[in-house]
Chains A and B, each alone.
Chain A
């Protein structure tokens, strides 16, 4: 599983990254988490409101910090 957290580095974006890390640990899935802060790259996902979460190329959440339950549901738990 390939998880990308898109965000320019504000508090909400790092919160999202931490939440995804915790979610991966809890779900016990094999996943890589990558933080993307380059605007040009963020734009290629069609995302224009950050933070956003992309899992295996699919945008799951835009413009907000997801809840733990949401994060776990994307991870298949």
Chain B
């Protein structure tokens, strides 16, 4: 495998680079550092704050149903929103180093296996709007990115996203978050590899190949650090501004389940003993279209009440990575056969992950 060159290349058409103003740069770095320090201080006061609000200010009894539900909400809501803001900002800064054009150039003509691994990684860090999936697919395939490698990219992008990881980390701990990330990547890599081996190019609508891979029209600019910080901030405001109602709603549902649903309630339906619950969880997840922000808090509550981890993660992956609206859009470039194989391969991967975790944990 060639060494990864992720730095933006200055092409001939690069716009003139403004020399950064050193005072402004220093001021922005100072502000960013201060914001991070403030974040850290506030974050560590949250448990005390939740106790104060639930038990002192509202006068609810510790251990009572309502008291526990309220405390859960008052603690989790700011915690998750703060974690989300921080990570979305960080990922935004990271993504400012990547563009779809660069990723395409890196992946064009790659061999399988190493190419799939690289594509899954790039799928996570390359910024693109989810509704760009089809133009992106066309751009990749016509530029000589192998079909299977393109799929690894397209599967990893929604599955391993920063919102899902933050929420898993914040609510369930780093082990579950890491587990989700590794298995999500593994599914993207293996599913793309399998699709590549099956040689399914005939299932792509013929007009796609008639589109010439025009040279990238966007001039890639050399970016400065202040620009990258700005980019991260913009991503944070945009994403957190969009998902916070879902996060709050999800946590509220989670809080209600936490306080009112008896322990072990889910054990019969979604517990380890119920082998049939994994495929059912995957099947239910496909037509469901929810973002990670609203699904994770619900999952948290399900786990708490005795649902098995494998079954629950399988459900979450299926909801996030396999969605009906996406299939409808992909139908414009893919024949039904390939869409069915795509669902089949990814679904099988998710199923295996579900069983694996139910078995080992």
Q: Which residues of A contact B (CB under 8 A)?
A: 7-10, 12-13, 39-40, 42-51, 58-59, 61-63
Q: How far is the CA of A9 from the CA of B139 in the complex (A)?
A: 19
- A-contacting residues, B329-357, CB 8 Å: 329, 332-333
- The one of A39, A49, A58, A59 in contact with B332, judged by C-beta atoms closer than 8 angstroms, is A39
Q: Nearest CB to that of A38 among chain B residues?
A: B332
Could you tell me the distance in whole angstroms from the C-beta of B150 to the nearest C-beta in chain A? 11
Partner pick for B135 among A9, A47, A61, CB 8 A cutoff: A47
Cα A14 to Cα B30 in complex, Å, equals 36
Give per-residue flags for B57-87: 1 if the beta carbon is below 8 A from chain A beta carbons, else 0.
Answer: 0000000000000000000000000000000
Task: Give 1 or 0 for each of B96-134: 1 = CB within 8 Å of chain A CB.
Answer: 000111001000000000000000000000011111101
Contact A13 B131, beta carbon cutoff 8 Å: yes
* Of B129, B130, B135, the contact of A43 (CB 8 Å cutoff): B135
Q: Does B17 lie at the interface of the complex (its beta carbon under 8 Å from any beta carbon of A)?
A: no
B127 (CB) vs chain A CBs: closest residue: A63
> What is the number of contacts between chain A and chain B, taking CB atoms within 8 Å?
78
Which residues of B are found within 8 Å of A51, using beta-carbon distances?
Answer: 129
Nearest Cβ in chain A — how far from B107, in angstroms? 13
Shortest Cβ distance from B185 into chain A, in angstroms?
A: 22
- Is B217 positioned at the interface, with any CB of A under 8 Å from its CB? yes
Q: What secondary structure prevails in chain B residues at the interface with A?
A: helix
20 A-B pairs in the complex with CB atoms less than 8 angstroms apart: A10-B129, A12-B131, A39-B332, A43-B208, A44-B211, A45-B217, A47-B135, A47-B217, A48-B104, A48-B136, A48-B138, A48-B139, A49-B135, A50-B131, A50-B132, A50-B135, A61-B218, A62-B101, A63-B99, A63-B127
Residues of B within 8 A of A46 (CB): 139, 212-217
CB distance from B137 to the nearest CB of A (A): 8
Contact of B214 among A10, A39, A45, A49 (CB under 8 A): A45
Of all chain B residues, which has the CB nearest A41? B211
Query: A62 with B217: in contact, given A43-B138, A48-B140 (CB under 8 Å)?
Result: yes
Q: Which of A10, A61, A63 contacts B100 (CB 8 A)?
A: A63
Assess the A49–B100 pair: CB atoms within 8 A.
yes
B128 in contact with A9 (CB, 8 Å):
no
| Residues in A neighbouring B134, C-beta threshold 8 A | 8, 39
CB contact between A48 and one of B127, B135, B332 (< 8 Å): that residue: B135
Cα–Cα, bound, A31→B216 (Å): 25
Q: Which of A10, A51, A63 has the most CB of B within 10 A?
A: A63
Interface pair B138/A49, CB less than 8 Å apart: no
Contacts of A8 in B (CB 8 A): 131-132, 134-135, 329
Q: With A39-B138, A44-B211, A46-B214 given, is the CB distance from A63 to B131 under 8 Å?
A: no
Q: With A and B bound together, what is the CA distance between A57 and B49 in angstroms?
A: 57
Complex contacts, B100 vs chain A, CB 8 Å = 48-49, 63
How many Å lie between the Cα of A59 and that of B101 in the bound state? 14
**A residues within 8 A CB of B137?**
48
Q: How far is the CA of A49 from the CA of B133 in the complex (A)?
A: 8
Bound form: Cα–Cα A61–B218 in Å: 6
**Which of B127, B135, B215 has the largest count of A CB atoms less than 10 A from its CB?**
B135
Are A63 and B138 in contact, with the CB atoms below 8 A? no
A12 proximity list for chain B (CB < 8 A): 129, 131
Smallest CB separation, A1 vs chain B (Å): 18
B207 engages A48 (CB within 8 Å):
no
The answer to whether residues A63 and B128 also contact, given A8-B329, A40-B207 and a CB cut-off of 8 A, is: yes
Instruction: State whether A49 and B211 are in contact (beta carbons under 8 Å apart), knowing that A8-B329, A39-B332, A61-B218 are contacts in the complex.
Output: no
